[in-house]
Amino acid sequence: MGCYSKETQRDAENEEYINENQAICLHVFSDLTNVSPAVFIYLLKECYIYGTLKATRKFRILQQQVLRALHNAPRPGPFTFVIQCLYLVPILGHTYSEGFSHMLISCLRHFKALESVQKDFSDAKPLAAQLTIDILSCILMHEERILIKLLEAFDVKLKDIAYALHGSELNNGDIDQTKVFIENHIRAFTGSQSYMTAVSLAEQFAVHLSGESFLVELIEGNQFKAAEKWASFMGKPTTCLLVQKYLEMKMLKNAYVMIKENDLVEEFPDVYYIYKESLLKKLAEKGCWDIAEQRTKKDKKLLEYLVYLAMEAGYKEKVDELCQRYSLEGFVKSLVSKEIYSEADYLDLNKLVLDDIIWVDDINGLLAATDYIEGCKIVGVDCEWKPNYEKGSKPNKVSIMQIASENRAFIFDLIKLYEDEPKLLDSCFRRILCSSNVLKLGYNLQCDLQQLSQSYGELECFRSYEMLLDIQKLFKEPTGGLSGLSKKILGAGLNKTRRNSNWEQRPLSQYQKEYAALDAAVLVRIFHHVGGQPQFGVKEQGCKVEWKSHIVSRVSSTRRA
């Protein structure tokens, strides 16, 4: 007996299920002229429960069949036929009722443009109004979502409900009574906190309740989507009130969206810039300066604010870059006089007493750096790559790798070294990473090594390592990353403004080199600060954790090849 994969088995089940459906359709669904709604609903259930497919897959297949069936002469027409079916579906119970009702109503949108069914649509509208009354009066049990879809599909208005309640001869009193009927149900939905249903009914039947009190109730219940829908329906005064409430609650994004969608810029001229500036600040705090620059859309006021943020963060080269690109030197001079530049107490290379930063991009430099690092007992390791802001896209290739001892940092230009001397690069980095004599410190370094392996798949050097100690796991710093750990251990954090800069540009700026070197060098300083001796342990939850127990290795069988 042959073995079938799960996929083959699933395909066979799909085909069996479809064939069974097709057999039923050939006998009944292919001609609904003499098929009653009751038989139709029964067949829907039988088709649905047949087979072993997952519910979602079954539902989609069945929906296609229902759509075809409604094209096949149901009497008196598809709209009337569906209304009759909706009276019967609740008999099947909750398991089927909502899904089948949603399916039937959704199928009707394909018929609205057909001239041949317009009379049936008109004839079915009073039936839809009566069905609405029966649902509201709990004579027939349907979910609220189905009620709203029914009203939208048949465009049921207040007058249609009035006709269903009072007959074809209406007077003003009948309309008023119908309005009261709807208002009572709106209040009932509000009382049960079904706010979106209440708002949808009010909008559908043009019932204007007390705007401010109802709006406040929605906001206090955190029903913001319902509040926005209600405000837009009520008009400009209520919409302006909602915007004001959002501003008081510091919900800038919600306020901005309402202003934009309802053309209220003249009423709230400052909110646009307040919101945009808040976005720029969030992006700057994340180090996403290039995205922040794009979001300004060359608006001078927003560009000036971005320059201000860069100055405040101490990101001097970004200030120069923006000034040169957008001619903002005059604005910067006005800020310099006010001493805007940040003087935050960040860690720098002078405080670490790092003697030299060495850029390595050729054979001689690579060999010399490797010899030096092999003679060290402890080094810090980190790497950088150009950020990719396209959602779902792969990260860019790792651009540089930094390896630092106590007083010297090497920055390896991986892109150039890989292009010029891939075999030598592989050999040198295997000597470093697989050395059992050199302790390599990192912060989430295994993640970096994975990225390195993906960037340079042909190299063996990033697939194996020995004597790797992840500082992150050792200290289990809950927040702040390496900067937070540096702040905790050394008393000063790291300025991360350049972390998302363009690491593929050549030459790197001096600021970039210093940032890169610092990220590797600080690991060595943190390790020594807390006692980098063989007996050193970190106290954690009342017990002593030996740091050597955190050292990891991953040895490849081909590493010595």
| pLDDT at residue 52, rounded to an integer | 67
DSSP string, 316-342: HHHHHHHHHHHT-HHHHHHHHTTT-S-
Q: Quick check: helix, strand or coil at residue 468?
A: strand
Give the integer Cα–Cα distance in Å for 387 and 167.
Answer: 68
- Give just the sign of the alpha carbon dihedral 343, 347, 348, 353: positive
What are the residue ranges in the chain where pLDDT is below 50? 1-4, 21-26, 532-536, 540-543, 559-561
- CA 4, CA 167: separation in Å to the nearest integer? 64
Pinpoint the alpha helices (H) of 375-444. Answer: 414-420, 422-433
Specify the pLDDT at position 298: 93
pLDDT of residue 558: 52
Q: Whole-model pTM?
A: 0.58
Output DSSP code: residue 547.
G
3-state secondary structure (DSSP) of residue 398: strand
Query: Phi then psi for 125, rounded to 5 degrees?
Result: -60, -45
3-state secondary structure 74-117: CCCCHHHHHHHHHHHHHHHCHHHHHHHHHHHHHHHHHCCCCHHH
Strand partners, 468: 440, 552
pLDDT reported for residue 533 = 44
Tokens of 188: 């009932």
Each residue's pLDDT tens digit, 473-486: 877 655 678 888 88
Per-residue model confidence (pLDDT) at position 169 = 81
pLDDT tens per residue, range 520-544: 999 999 988 876 444 445 554 444 5
- C-alpha 87/C-alpha 60 separation (Å) is 22
Strand partners, 411: 359, 402
Residue 125 CB partners (closer than 8 Å, separation 6+): 154, 155, 156, 160
Helix (H) or strand (E) holding 66: helix 55-70
Q: Looking at the DSSP assignment, which residues form a beta bridge with residue 538? A: 545
Q: Are 409 and 403 in contact (CB under 8 A)?
A: yes
CATH class of 349-554: alpha beta
Q: Is 342 exposed, middle or buried (0-12, 13-18, 19+ CB in 10 A)?
A: middle
CA separation for the pair 524, 537 (Å, rounded): 16
Percent of the chain exceeding pLDDT 70 equals 86
Give me the chain's average pLDDT, please: 84
Strand partners, 493: 346
pLDDT at 31: 65
Q: Which residues contact 317 (CB under 8 A, 6 or more apart)?
A: 509, 511
Which two tokens mark 464? 């194996």
Q: Rounded to whole angstroms, how far apart are CA atoms 543 and 539?
A: 6
Query: What local confidence, expressed as pLDDT, does residue 194 receive?
Result: 92
Of 505, 507, 502, which Cα lies nearest the Cα of 290? 502
Residue type present at position 532 = G
Give the pLDDT of residue 381. Answer: 96
Query: Which of 498, 505, 514, 500 lies closest to 315 in space, CA to CA?
Result: 498
